[in-house]
Structure 1
């Protein structure tokens, strides 16, 4: 429901200031309802990203800031269009370059655009539309405005654009219309079988303004043969300036973006830039100096888009500031992308941008979302495409592999970001390589030292390089030993940003010791102490469960944000490799020394066997830990799972927890694992998922929920025992005490133990055996101390050996 507001007062506006209500942008039905409520009251509104932005707007006095709650589903409220020539809303452009501009739109502007799309699409009250574009963008909100005006219903998907959901709802008759941008429609074109016969049930479709080839439009028409499909071209300042009825267009006109209708006019300037005039064109932009005219004296809006006209149709030729001038030949990035993409496998993600070139003015950068092996194919396709338009680019052509193509919320490629990434790569590529400890003299070289074998650039962060909990501890130790105190949330800062913090903070013997680091060290010592009989922390155990919990916490906190950003699970697979290699080496060494050869431990799956049937050493904790990471990698390889955690991380984590508990109980009902003490991944999945819940809790409400879930879990598993106490207190510390302030030497000791936890686990049984043989009896405390010391030594030795090997290979 919309937030209740005080009685309406006539909106005040002058050349210096506009009084408005701020609404935090959320892709939510509540957001749409709130916007319409403000329309009805004739109260100007401004959409903002956060309350903080609302407090710092230039040229606008905000009387209040409304944050709508999350809500998806159907929107069926009816709101007539308003034709008043009064300020309706300020919308900030989502352009690909420069600072967003505040565009002041009137009710008349909005109504004219809505009336023309209603007329072009022949919309009626029967429309039930799947709005595949966020309501926070002008295209998406425009769909709700038009549908509401004709008395139809609009559906906001809870997980964003979902082809499977679209197909299901079409087949069931729940929807008969769709709105989307070309980027999203290409997902359907890559797998048309997902829609299949259900496409015949679509009656209406609007496609937003991005470049789309005639062939792509033809295929969309075939996918939805009975739909009236309309594509529009426009800007925030001039929404829906031209229309192309794809469903009835000839092949010659399919490549265009249509023609103007109603009172809209389009023409080209002397340098082929598109100019627009009409009642839908905004009059002003707003900033700290007040209002500024967007239109010239004759009412024309001059855009930065290039185009040409043919038979009354407008053809979009890209943005003028994206145009590549390579040796005098003009290259339009959008069109070059089409040529390159046609020579590659379907679905290959590429983008073209211009970069400086000393000889030709502009060079051609082709960024490809592929690994290094795939760049050769992209280069071949790029050379052929450039040759086709008469350009032999030679050394002016650059191919860059990227994890993801940077785009705006509406799918527009951010070419300047690609150019900046390329420039950074070029400035550091000659310095890349494995760095020895003695060569570490700045933050960038420290990153390269701590992430051997990887190409590290100034813009990389700990998270983007695939850092996990063990690397987190090791890196923080190495940084603070050289450069001093780390800032908060340092794992999200680039090497360049971290360098700026060096020497800024005052020197102190005090350091922040994170609670998760303390928890890892404490419970690792508890496990070793239990095995050496130095002390029994709990007769009910529980330490192993808490370490698994910290593993889930690590994935959610350090690795999941990067997985969501890139769509790749390589960070998890990197952790699996980091853990598996030393584990296999240790198993192999022990089998050679004891002459007890078994294949299952070498494959790291012996945890599924009865431990009494095994002859040698087994590392079941490492085994199911790796298996949990692999299952997590499989889970997050699905886009809908990543989207769920991106939009609602806490709810998704709790849902995962409930799911894994149900899976464990289900499997145990027909596969009883008492024989191997339940050393299977699904049995330990609940603390792993609980760790993700703890990491997702970011305010008092969610922390309280996570704490309640933790207490309930430990009571179910252990009852009122010491194990439940230890684990519950550990959860409380992680949730409510982010870090302790301790003397620097104390942090070093605790962090060294925590960082070495894997090697302590791998080697402590061997230490126990050796001490028993040397002294003829067990010496619990000596075994405990030596086990920790040996684990720390092996951790250091392994890291040194890995770097040494990589340096020799390079």
Structure 2
């Protein structure tokens, strides 16, 4: 299928090159290079898909390299009326359908958006839409045609990066879908004054309210903001100049320009005509005309036209557009059904959603069907399909799923039922914004998003761990004053009564575990920055591992014993692993040093001198110790032993892991990797459990004696031994010290940020050295602490927002 002759194809099979879908600069280059060579292409998910393309003969499959950053090549638009690309839409399973676009289709679309936005070679665009989407690729094609530059962000849309690049004058244009722009609308201070630097913006065709359009206009007051409406078959059919539109016009999706035309059919559906409209679709049966005899493309969108502007009235079919990603209900049902509980039947329909355009409704028919199980299955299936639906996902039990006489699900009826029952399905206690936290229960709901928090819940029963202990205490005391001792065991109602009975004071109780954690973290960073050497024998890492074991036994083991579940430990593992993997991946991308084992968090078993990239061995064996602890406490006999005989069990564990370490080292020496293994540090972890098991004076003395022996065997009479012994004695006998509130905040913030301080401090050392040309130990130390604290708060905010979306309260 090489040419088009009199509106028909010369042959019935298209010869094309497959390009693996990848959001990469290399992907853009491959696509445009094939365009210039007049070689038709089809975008595929992987090479396997390329082997079976209905109606298409694939000559080869190209897998582009991973590369982000600037795309600067210039490519002229091509006006040949020849096949250029097959873009696949979401057809039903087993019968995929593709839209055959010509070079004329692509060129006309690009020319009209260039004209509408008045783009020039000065454009430097931040493309927040993946290049694999027709919208994203259309932006790169248009920017390239005018001689501008386009930036592909390495981490996807990053509001902070965008703000920084705008402020620095590196970018002056933005392309994004409304879902991404709502992130900026929710936190406009991220952009702030930098919004005045934006000159151009194009917004995708997902629904936006007039108010959202006005707020975007206010956020970027000097930009020419254009929104388009279109389909894969007819991209950018209408344009709305948001930056100059009247209030009435903001309700519309704009009007056609150039050779494009739009009208409303007798059935109320939108019809489109013009040189940008594809002529054919292709499937297993061959080619099919998309346009009628007069050149009109019939869509399944409802609308009306007023004073030349098209007003979108909703979709006429069942296709769900969730956040700009198309979803066919049958496909979601097919993914979920194999894992459904016995006897359960489901049906999927679309419902309105303010944030994402369409929401996803899963109706389940079965007596006593576990809706949370259905929700988990739906979340997993949607993620596989590239959709993080979050609060746009709804589960609705029904007595019977309505079907037609032929057995077809009546999805509109399900949507009507949801609308009638919607308030009953709405969470009674939505996540509480920080500024609206008025009582202790609201604070708990804020700090534990996605969980149901009741007045009788405690920090422990909600799965709180040492990583959140400090964060929660700081947040509490900022609002309500000093916490009582053992507050983690008190219910939210009891803490509320404490708030009412206590008096405000500038003095705060600083726990010794928080103080020692912050102190030893500073010692580690100071050693690496060479600000000061706390001990030539080290020891701080072992003490922090000891605190990890102490925290597990103090905060999490009681709940593990009570429920028989190690879910809280798995949550801690997830909380630590995700930012570590993200940091390793970021550093690998920035340095182009790619290795798989650091991403799997097991590089601590290798000789560090054989690794070319970055590794965070302390976190690696810390996570491995947590995983081993979860495995240990998953055995009912172990939990029962710790419940009945906590100190004996802890001492037995300490002896066992010490012996295990000796046995492993006898056959597998850890000299080559500096003993960065979980069994080498396991004694410190177990010693922490011993400390937490000491509840009275006699057991505390016993725990201190055991600690002194263990420390002596490890370091002899060295400074490291004195540091660690002093820290254990403080944890055992000085539960807390009273300090002024600012001191508590300073120490608490450092201790709370210890993980991110560790993740960031080597990078800060490198940055400081590059800026000043030589080492600045104290500046590196202080900047590491500041950046670590800032990143901790940023990650906590992002994590909380994501959790609130993924698991609405």
TM-score by length of 1: 0.48
TM superposition score normalised by structure 2: 0.48
